[in-house]
Amino acid sequence: MAEPALASSYSSCYCKLKFKLKPILLIFVSSLALLIPLSASEIIFEERFEDGWESRWVKSDWKKSEGKAGSFKHTAGNWAGDPDDKGIQTYPDARHFAISAQIPEFSNKNRTLVLQYSLKFEQDIECGGGYIKLLSGYVNQKKFSGDTPYSVMFGPDICGTQTKKLHLIYSYQGQNYPIKKDLQCETDKLTHFYTFILRPDASYSVLVDNRERESGSLYSDWDILPPRKIKEANAKKPADWDDREYINDPNDVKPEGYDSIPAEIPDPKAKEPDTWDEDEDGTWKRPKKPNPAYKGPWKPKRIKNPNYKGKWKIPWMDNPEFEDDPDLYVLKPVKYVGIEVWQVKAGSVFDNVLVCDDPAYAKQVVDEIWTRGREAEKEAFEEAEKIRRAKEEEEAQRAREEGERRKKERGHDRHYREREKYRERYKRRRHDFDDYHDEL
C-alpha cells in the first residue's frame, strides 16, 4: 500500500516542480529568442525570375521617347543547364536597358552585406555592360536612368579586346569611387556568378563562381579617405647608415710580385719555321700565348658587411590629413536593386539576384545552381555551337553555289554579247562588200 502513496507523492512533487520550472524555462526561451535574431542571417531580397517577376520589377521609360529603350525577355537563353530556370535577357541591339525592383529597406551598419547575381553573355557583346546597382533613398523607377545616384555598382563591362573590366564602384557622401585594382570579368558565353561581400571592418571580397578573385579594404583599395600613413617628405638617409651588403675583406692582402706576372708568355712549344730567312724575315720571335699563372688584376675577397643595416627606405609617418570614419563601410539605407546598361549587341541573361548578410548562403546558392548545372550548360552550349557552325557552313555553301551560278550567267551573257557583236560586224562588212560590188 505504501508504493502507490509514494508514487502519488512523486507525481505531486513532479507537478509542483514542473510548474515552478515553467516560468524559468519561459524566461530562458524568451531570452534565447531575443538573442537569435542578432546572429541569424537575413535574406533581404532574392529574385530567381520565376512567374510573377514582372510584378516586382519596373521597366524604366528612360530613352523610350528617343526610340533607344531596350526591353527584357523572360527566358533561360539559347542554351541552359535547366531550360526552366529563366532569367531576363536584354533585346534588341543598340539599346539602353533600365529596370529596377524595390526591396525591403535595410542598412548594413554592423552587418555584412552580400550582393550577388548571375550573368550570361550569349551575344558577341562587342561593347556593353552587364553590371547591377544598389540604390538608396527614393527612386522614381519609371525614370530610372544612368544619371540616377547609386550606392554600389558591381559587374562586368566589356568593350573591344582591351576593356574586360569588372566594375566595383562605391558611393561615399554623394561621390562615386571606383576600385583602384584592375579586376577582370569573364568573357565566354556561359553563366557566371558575381559576388561582392562588404564587412563591418571595411574589408571586402569579390568572388567569381565562388572563387575569390580579389580582397582587401575600403581604406587601401579606394581613394575615399586620405591614407593613414604617408612617407616623410623631408626624410634623409642618416650619414652613418651603411647599406653595403658586401665589402672588401680588409685582411686580404695582395701577394708579393702579383703585379709583375705577365698576361702573356712566349710559347715554349713554338718552333722556328724551316723556311724562315733572317736576312729577309728578320730575327724570329716565339709567338705568345696566355699565361696560365696570370689571374687578372688583383681584387680583394668580398665578405658580408658586419655593419650592414639593410637598404634604407623612406620612413612612414601618420598622415595629419587622415581622419577616420568608422562608418566608412555603411551605405545609405538601400531600397532598390537596378540593372542599367548600354549594349551594342543585346542578349545578356541576368538571373539569381541576391541581397543578404550571409556569405555562406550566397555560396550555397552558387553551389546549387551553377556548380550542379555548369556541365549541362556546357553540353547545351556545345550542341548550340555545333548547330550554329552547321548553319553557317550551309549558308556559306549556298552563297558559293549562288556565286557560281551568277558567274556562269555572266559568262553566258558575255558569250552571247560577243556572238551578237561578231554578227553585227559581219553584217556591216557584208553590206560594205555588196556596196563595193555594186559600184564596180
Burial class for 38, CB neighbours closer than 10 Å (0-12, 13-18, 19+): exposed
Nearest to residue 11, comparing CAs of 291, 19, 339? 19
pLDDT at residue 7 in the model: 37
Residues 265 and 12: their CA atoms lie apart, in Å, by 122
Domain assignment of residue 386, yes or no = no
pLDDT at residue 125 in the model: 86
From first to last of its 440 residues, what are the pLDDT tens digits of the chain?
444 333 333 334 433 333 344 444 444 434 444 444 444 689 999 999 999 999 999 999 999 999 999 999 999 999 998 999 999 999 999 999 999 999 999 999 999 999 999 999 999 888 999 999 999 999 999 999 999 999 999 999 998 878 899 999 999 999 999 999 999 999 999 999 999 999 999 999 999 999 999 999 999 999 999 999 999 989 999 999 999 999 999 999 999 888 889 999 998 888 889 888 888 888 988 899 999 989 899 999 999 999 999 999 999 999 999 999 999 999 999 999 999 999 999 999 999 999 999 999 999 999 999 888 889 999 999 988 888 888 888 888 888 888 888 888 777 767 777 777 777 777 777 666 666 566 65
Q: What is the number of domains present in the chain?
A: 1
Residues 388 and 79: their CA atoms lie apart, in Å, by 12
Domain assignment of residue 260, yes or no = no
pLDDT at residue 414 in the model: 72
CB proximity list for 374: less than 8 A, separation 6 or greater: 81, 190, 191
Domain assignment of residue 100, yes or no = yes
Domain assignment of residue 305, yes or no = no
Three cell numbers at 28? 530562458
CATH number for the domain spanning 161: value is: 2.60.120.200
Nearest to residue 334, comparing CAs of 126, 107, 73? 107
Domain assignment of residue 303, yes or no = no
Residues 429 and 440: their CA atoms lie apart, in Å, by 17
202, 203, 209, 210 alpha-carbon torsion, rounded to 10°: -120
Three cell numbers at 101? 525592383
Q: Domain range for residue 210?
A: 43-226+329-373
Domain assignment of residue 111, yes or no = yes
E strand spans, 23-151:
43-47, 57-59, 71-75, 87-91, 95-106, 113-121, 127-129, 132-136
Domain assignment of residue 133, yes or no = yes
Domain assignment of residue 276, yes or no = no
Amino acid at 179: I
User: In a 3-state reduction of DSSP, which class is residue 302?
Assistant: strand
Which DSSP helix (H) or strand (E) runs through 233? Answer: none
